[in-house]
Structure formats: structure tokens, C-alpha cells
């Protein structure tokens, strides 16, 4: 909606120096790692490069209280991670993004001819429900009386708590629950494990209610809004806001009829839309289970966003010493081509501009299905005879996949020189005073001669191309499956 100016009075354009546009936070931006489901159906706490996991939900029928039921055969699970968008992204005001993932839940078979695990602790009775008051009330539970060891002693306990209303921690065999400032109810899971190979774990569910005595659940509770975030797309699709209660209905007017979507915005300009939400008050409040109505105002865009270079967010583009272009990747869209295809070698580091052609995603943008967009990127082409760096480091033998380092132990003992440090993506590696042909394989790297692999600590992995340029830097700890490598 354009500003109206009344030209009989002065109108001043106030022009500020342009600021670098903020990138759009997308599911891929989060770079979710270590998302897995264990044999008890408990979902691991994933690590994210950007954003914070607000909640994990699933439409699978046996998903309840933030976990799945155990399964006798490995099962593919559909999860939705609600990721809180951090500041520094253009869509931070949307607050969160729901991102779908699929993860395979391993089987839990404790008996029969082919058990998935054997022995291990077992449960002993049930842990009673716990009730706390808001604002730091605590309860402690001696877990040792609720689990029985298997063939060997219980080595420890893990906690599974997806709620923000209560904090849970374990010290030795003592579980401590402490409340936060919001009331409600949730279930906390505690699993006992031992150190036997392929041992089963045992899990107890603890029902926890956090009461807010004398408090009535309202649209703002202790300074926290009952609803925040959400959006209305141009076509009227409503994404519900985050809520500390349960949203049961959306309405256009206060007390009006329930709707599932809003009218498309074809006005040619953005418009402000206020929606009213029926929210069921969570447990713990005086009005638990009753419905309150809160409103939230959204800006409904007039058009789908245009897919552009900022959204494409090219990364990993490089030029080898021989002038060959590595096309890298795009966060959104697909790189279909680039020009030129190569450059001549140079005797000193030279700045090059490469035009990348990017096909917009099939939907979701005004130019979806349209022509490729072009994005120029300036890349430095290293000199053909690079000065080998002076940083002495050690690398292992090559492997074809980062996860291979977790199959067996590898000695990191071959001395190299690097123009950068351990995290020097794009640095040039030399061995014996000439560029090291890494063949695009992966190498474990360290500052001294060490051994890496299972039962060793965390270590770094480089992918080195045929020009000796580090193309990827990863970290691995060989816990879990697939080496658990994390791109850095």
C-alpha cells in the first residue's frame, strides 16, 4: 500500500544507507542434525545450526506425549519440528516454522529368537504423578526404587522432557523436577540403561502437573502471550500461532463462526487481518479446560514472494586453481547451469564473477514454474601455484564417506601444510611442498598425530578436492548412526 503524499506540503524522502538484506529462514536453514528415535520411541534432542526446537509433533497414530510407542519392526516416522526462527532472518516475526522430517524408529524386541536388545534394566512399579506450583517449585524422586537392574548394574538415567512448563534433571539416581512460570500438565519420561553391549533400556512415564494457584489462564500469563507467531498466506491459508494452550477454533470476528482459512488477498496491497482464536486453558490454572478467546493481527501479503537470489542463498561455490568451477548448492531452488564454465589459470588470487542460473521451486513463489533466475557471485580463483600454507596439521587415510571413520580406527599421522586452520573451509592443502590431490575424499584431521574412530573423542573431517582445496569441514563423534557428522 503506497504512501499518500499531499504535495502542497513538503514531503521528504529520508534515505538511509542500504543494509544487507536478511536471509529467509527455511527448514533447510536450520541444518537439523542428530534427529533420531531410540528403541523406546523417544525422540532425540536434535542439534540445529540456526533456530531452536520449540516442539516435535507427529501425525502418526501412536505418537503421544512427545514419543512413539515401541515397535517390533523398524518403522519410518513422520515428525514435524516446530523451529523458533531466530533474529537476523527476514521472517523472524513469523516466530516459528514447521518442518517435516522422516526418521526410522528401530525395533524393540526383547524376547524371541531375534531380539533387538537383550537384558538391561526393567521397571519396578510406577512413578506416581507429581504436582508442583509455578515459579520454581521442585520435587525429587529416587529413581533407584522404580527400576530393577538387569544382568549388570544400572549405569545411569536419561530424561525425555519435551515440555517447557517443567525442567527435569537427574543426578545419580535422583530426579529433580522444577516448575517454570507457566502452568499446565505434561509427561516426563525417564529411562534407565546399563553399559552392556546391546542392552535394552527401561522407561517410566511421570505425569507432571504444574498448578498456578489463583491464576486464571488469559491471553497474557505472567507476561507470556497465550498465542504468538502464525501467519496468513496470500491465498488465505492460516498457519496457527504458537500457543501455551490448545487452539480449538479460528474466527474472523469475536464470537463468530469457526473458519479454517481466510479469503485470498487480491487487493494488490498487503492488508492487516485480525483473527480470533478459541484456546482451551491448560491444566494447572483455575479455569483449566475452559475456553478463552484471544485475537492476533497478521499482515496478509498481496502476492506470493518472488524467488530471488537472496532466497536462493548460494553457498559452497568455488573455483579451483585450474579454473574449474564448483557449482556448490542453493538453499532454495536448483542450480541448473552457470557461466562461464571455467577460467584460465592465474598466477595470483583473482576475483571472478560467475553467473548461476537457478530454477525456482515448483511452488510457493510468484515465479514458480517460470524462467530461471540469474545470480552473479564473486568467487576468488586461487593462483595456479599457490603458496603452501605454514600451518602444520595431520590427516588420515582417505575414505569415501564421513561415516566410514566410525567403522574402525584410523591413524591421523600424515603431515600436511595448510593455508588455513582446522576449520579452514577453502584453504589449500600441500604435502611435500606441492598441492595435495585429495580426490574429493574425506580425511580425518588433527593438530597432532592421533587416532580417531569408535570409542575415541570427537574429531574433524575434511573433504579435499583434486586441487587441494578443502570443500567440506565436518565434525564427528561416532555416536549414534552414520557417524553423526555435522557440517560446520
Partner 1 sequence: MYSGIENSYSSTDLKYTINKNIISGQQNIIVEIAELVRDYLDITFDGTYTSSAKWVSAVVTYFDTDGESYDYSNPEVFNFVAVDGYGYFEDEINPELSRHALISANNIYLPEGTAGTLPIFAEGVGKVRIDSTDTEITDNGNSNQKIQYITIPADSSTIRVYDTDDTTVLKTITVNNICEPKFTPYKVVFQNKLGALQDLWFFKKTTESFNVTDETFKRNIINTSSVSYALNDTQNQRYNVNGKTRLSLNTGFIKEDMNQTIEELFLTENAWIDFEGNVLPIIPVSKSMTFKTSLNDRLTDYTIDFEFGFDKINNIR
Contact between 20 and partner 1 per CB under 8 A: yes
Q: Looking at beta carbons only, is 20 or 257 nearer to partner 1?
A: 20
358 to 377: interface string for partner 1, x by CB under 8 A: --------------------
Find the binding residues for partner 1 in span 236-265 (CB under 8 A). 253
Contact between 1 and partner 1 per CB under 8 A: yes
Neighbours of 51 (CB within 10 A): 22
Q: In the complex, what is the shortest distance from the CB of residue 350 to partner 1, in angstroms, rounded to a whole number? A: 18
Contact between 5 and partner 1 per CB under 8 A: yes
Nearest C-alpha neighbor of 49 from the set 473, 397, 433: 473
Nearest C-alpha neighbor of 96 from the set 59, 51, 45: 51
Contact between 13 and partner 1 per CB under 8 A: yes
Among 1-9, 44-52, 123-131, 183-191, the segment contacting partner 1 (CB under 8 A): 1-9
Q: Looking at beta carbons only, is 91 or 199 nearer to partner 1?
A: 91
Half-sphere exposure of 236 (CA within 13 A, CB side): 11
In the DSSP assignment, the letter for residue 309 is: H
Q: In the complex, what is the shortest distance from the CB of residue 253 to partner 1, in angstroms, rounded to a whole number? A: 7
Half-sphere exposure of 333 (CA within 13 A, CB side): 30
Find the binding residues for partner 1 in span 141-180 (CB under 8 A). none
Residues 6+ apart with CB under 8 A from 326: 316, 317, 318, 319, 320, 465, 471
Among 72-80, 169-177, 188-196, 270-278, the segment contacting partner 1 (CB under 8 A): 270-278
Distance, CA of 473 to CA of 189 (rounded, Å): 36
Among 138, 267, 299, 447, binds partner 1 (CB under 8 A): 267
- Grid cell of 104 as nine digits: 526410522
Contact between 223 and partner 1 per CB under 8 A: no
Q: Looking at beta carbons only, is 90 or 144 nearer to partner 1?
A: 90
Contact between 11 and partner 1 per CB under 8 A: yes
Among 6-14, 28-36, 118-126, 158-166, the segment contacting partner 1 (CB under 8 A): 6-14
Residues 6+ apart with CB under 8 A from 350: 343, 380, 381, 383
Among 221-229, 268-276, 284-292, 418-426, the segment contacting partner 1 (CB under 8 A): 268-276
Residues 6+ apart with CB under 8 A from 32: 46, 47, 48, 81, 83, 99, 101
Contact 338/321 with Cβ under 8 angstroms? Answer: no
Rg, the chain, Cα only: 28
Q: In the complex, what is the shortest distance from the CB of residue 303 to partner 1, in angstroms, rounded to a whole number? A: 12
Q: How many residues in the shown chain lie near partner 1 by CB under 8 A? A: 29
3-state secondary structure of 145: helix
Find the binding residues for partner 1 in span 297-316 (CB under 8 A). 310
Q: Looking at beta carbons only, is 255 or 268 nearer to partner 1?
A: 268
Distance, CA of 180 to CA of 477 (rounded, Å): 33
Among 17-25, 51-59, 277-285, 399-407, the segment contacting partner 1 (CB under 8 A): 17-25
Q: Looking at beta carbons only, is 256 or 340 nearer to partner 1?
A: 256
Q: In the complex, what is the shortest distance from the CB of residue 22 to partner 1, in angstroms, rounded to a whole number? A: 11
Chain centroid, CA 458 distance in Å: 20
Among 2, 87, 102, 255, binds partner 1 (CB under 8 A): 2
Among 4-12, 128-136, 341-349, 384-392, the segment contacting partner 1 (CB under 8 A): 4-12
Contact between 112 and partner 1 per CB under 8 A: no
The residues that bridge with 391 in the sheet, in sequence order, are 418
Contact between 16 and partner 1 per CB under 8 A: yes
Cα Dmax for the chain = 90
Q: In the complex, what is the shortest distance from the CB of residue 332 to partner 1, in angstroms, rounded to a whole number? A: 17
Buried b / exposed e along 363-389 (16+ C-beta atoms within 10 A): eebeeeeeebbebeeebebbebebebb
Q: In the complex, what is the shortest distance from the CB of residue 86 to partner 1, in angstroms, rounded to a whole number? A: 21
The residues that bridge with 228 in the sheet, in sequence order, are 242
Contact 428/468 with Cβ under 8 angstroms? Answer: yes
Q: Looking at beta carbons only, is 4 or 197 nearer to partner 1?
A: 4
435 to 474: interface string for partner 1, x by CB under 8 A: ----------------------------------------
Contact between 6 and partner 1 per CB under 8 A: yes
3-state secondary structure of 205: strand
Q: Looking at beta carbons only, is 269 or 481 nearer to partner 1?
A: 269
Burial class (CB in 10 A: 0-12, 13-18, 19+), 341: exposed
Binding site for partner 1 (CB under 8 A): 1-21, 253, 267-269, 271, 273-274, 310
Amino acid at each position: 500500500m503506497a504512501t499518500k503524499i499531499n504535495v502542497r506540503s513538503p514531503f521528504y524522502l529520508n534515505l538511509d544507507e542500504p543494509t544487507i538484506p536478511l536471509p529467509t529462514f527455511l527448514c533447510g536453514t536450520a541444518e537439523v542434525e542428530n534427529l533420531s528415535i531410540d528403541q523406546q520411541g523417544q525422540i532425540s534432542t536434535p542439534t540445529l545450526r540456526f533456530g531452536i526446537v520449540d516442539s516435535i509433533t507427529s501425525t502418526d497414530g501412536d505418537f503421544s506425549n512427545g514419543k512413539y510407542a515401541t515397535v517390533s519392526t523398524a518403522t519410518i516416522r513422520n515428525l514435524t519440528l516446530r523451529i523458533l526462527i531466530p533474529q537476523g532472518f527476514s521472517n523472524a516475526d513469523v516466530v516459528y516454522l514447521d518442518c517435516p522430517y522422516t526418521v526410522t524408529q528401530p525395533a524393540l524386541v526383547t524376547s524371541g529368537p531375534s531380539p533387538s536388545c537383550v537384558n538391561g534394566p526393567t521397571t519396578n512399579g510406577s512413578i506416581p504423578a507429581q504436582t508442583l506450583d509455578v515459579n520454581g517449585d521442585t520435587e525429587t524422586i529416587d529413581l533407584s526404587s522404580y527400576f530393577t537392574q538387569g544382568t549388570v548394574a544400572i549405569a545411569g538415567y536419561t530424561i525425555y522432557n519435551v515440555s517447557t512448563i517443567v525442567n527435569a534433571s537427574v543426578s545419580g539416581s535422583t530426579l529433580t523436577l522444577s516448575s517454570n512460570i507457566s502452568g499446565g500438565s505434561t509427561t516426563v519420561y525417564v529411562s534407565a540403561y546399563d553399559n552392556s553391549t546391546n542392552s535394552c533400556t527401561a522407561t517410566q512415564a511421570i505425569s507432571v502437573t504444574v498448578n498456578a494457584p489463583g491464576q486464571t489462564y488469559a491471553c497474557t500469563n505472567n507476561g507470556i502471550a497465550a498465542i504468538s507467531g502464525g501467519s496468513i498466506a496470500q491465498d488465505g491459508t492460516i498457519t496457527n500461532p504458537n500457543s501455551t494452550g490448545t487452539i480449538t477454533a479460528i474466527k474472523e470476528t469475536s464470537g463468530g463462526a469457526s473458519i479454517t482459512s481466510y479469503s485470498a488477498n487480491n487487493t494488490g496491497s498487503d492488508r492487516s487481518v485480525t483473527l480470533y482464536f478459541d484456546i482451551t486453558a491448560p491444566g494447572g490454572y483455575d479455569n483449566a479446560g475452559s475456553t478463552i478467546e484471544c485475537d492476533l493481527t497478521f499482515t496478509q501479503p498481496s502476492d506470493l514472494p518472488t524467488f530471488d537470489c537472496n532466497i536462493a542463498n548460494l553457498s559452497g561455490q568455488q573455483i579451483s586453481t585450474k579454473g574449474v568451477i564448483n557449482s556448490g548448492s542453493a538453499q532454495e531452488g536448483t542450480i541448473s547451469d552457470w557461466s562461464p564454465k571455467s577460467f584460465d589459470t592465474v598466477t595470483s588470487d583473482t576475483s571472478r564473477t560467475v553467473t548461476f542460473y537457478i530454477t525456482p521451486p515448483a511452488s510457493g513463489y510468484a515465479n514458480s514454474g517460470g524462467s530461471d533466475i540469474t545470480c552473479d557471485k564473486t568467487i576468488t580463483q586461487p593462483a595456479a601455484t599457490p603458496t603452501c600454507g605454514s600451518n602444520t596439521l595431520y590427516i588420515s587415510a582417505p575414505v569415501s564417506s564421513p561415516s566410514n571413520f566410525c567403522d574402525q580406527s584410523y591413524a591421523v599421522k600424515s603431515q600436511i601444510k595448510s593455508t588455513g586452520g582446522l576449520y579452514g573451509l577453502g584453504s589449500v592443502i600441500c604435502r611435500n611442498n606441492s598441492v595435495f590431490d585429495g580426490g574429493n575424499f574425506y580425511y580425518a584431521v588433527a593438530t597432532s598425530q592421533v587416532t580417531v574412530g569408535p570409542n575415541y573423542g570427537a574429531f574433524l573431517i575434511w573433504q579435499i578436492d583434486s586441487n587441494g582445496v578443502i570443500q567440506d569441514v565436518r565434525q564427528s563423534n561416532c555416536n549414534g548412526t552414520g557417524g553423526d557428522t555435522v557440517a560446520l
